[in-house]
């Protein structure tokens, strides 16, 4: 998912946290998803949206918005801030996901397999692979039995790039989640895993 919508309309991902304090904290500072619920210690942007909808439509149950809206909001803020290590390496998140899939599976993949691994469309994968190949990070090998099939693998430069970025990226993500203690992180991960499993079973795997 490459574009995230804020609850009640509008594109939350298009706001610049450097210019809009409500759009999230600085990557080196407080985690952007640390805002409390409407009944918590302090309000967040979704709480304000929910209050407004309750005034306009007091009879509606806004409970789902309080969950989905916050997931969308966190996703938007993370898209803006989390990928600083990737930007320094000249990579987008989708490009890094392709490189990461080739690295973690440990073997060659076809473009179709990469699309499934990264939840992306075939057209998007083809475009990204062209850019990564031109940078010398991925190399292609034709299939000896079927000329229509292409096998892809990381070059040495691609493998070194992934191995260099991953620890930095994980350190950043650790800092983002530092406002939650270990049990809270585990509980959140379990709840999100349950929600994701149900959505994937009901809706199928979304395509970027």
Looking at the predicted structure, is the pLDDT value of residue 45 above 80? yes
Residue 92: how many other CB atoms lie within 10 Å: 14
Looking at the predicted structure, is the pLDDT value of residue 192 above 80? yes
The DSSP code for 13 is G
Return the pLDDT at 119: 87
Return the pLDDT at 29: 41
Digit-coded pLDDT (tens) for 56-101: 999 999 999 999 999 999 888 887 766 778 888 889 889 999 999 9
Return the pLDDT at 20: 41
Residues 6+ apart with CB under 8 A from 23: 12, 15, 16, 17, 77, 80
Digit-coded pLDDT (tens) for 152-177: 999 999 999 999 999 988 888 888 88
Say how far apart CA 43 and CA 34 lie, in whole Å.
11
For residues 125-143, give the mean pLDDT: 93
The answer to whether the CB of 137 falls within 8 A of the CB of 155 is yes
Residue 46: how many other CB atoms lie within 10 Å: 26
Digit-coded pLDDT (tens) for 2-40: 444 444 444 443 444 333 433 344 444 444 444 444 444
Looking at the predicted structure, is the pLDDT value of residue 196 above 60? yes
For residues 43-54, give the mean pLDDT: 90
Return the pLDDT at 40: 43
Return the pLDDT at 42: 55
pTM of the model: 0.67
């Amino acid at each position: 998912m490459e574009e995230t919508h804020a609850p009640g309309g509008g594109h939350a991902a298009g706001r610049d946290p450097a210019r809009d304090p409500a759009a999230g904290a600085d990557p080196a500072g407080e985690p952007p998803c640390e805002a409390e619920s409407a009944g918590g210690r302090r309000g967040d942007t979704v709480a304000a949206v929910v209050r407004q909808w309750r005034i306009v439509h007091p009879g509606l149950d806004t409970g789902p918005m309080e969950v989905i809206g916050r997931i969308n909001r966190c996703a938007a803020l993370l898209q803006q801030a989390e990928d600083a290590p990737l930007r320094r390496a000249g990579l987008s998140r989708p490009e890094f996901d392709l490189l990461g899939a080739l690295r973690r599976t440990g073997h060659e993949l076809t473009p179709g397999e990469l699309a499934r691994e990264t939840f992306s469309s075939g057209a998007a994968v083809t475009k990204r692979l062209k850019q990564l190949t031109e940078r010398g990070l991925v190399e292609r090998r034709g299939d000896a039995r079927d000329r229509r099939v292409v096998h892809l693998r990381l070059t040495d430069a691609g493998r070194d790039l992934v191995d260099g970025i991953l620890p930095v990226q994980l350190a950043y993500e650790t800092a983002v989640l530092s406002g939650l203690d270990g049990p809270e992180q585990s509980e959140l991960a379990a709840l999100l895993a349950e929600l994701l499993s149900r959505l994937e079973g009901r809706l199928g795997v979304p395509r970027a």
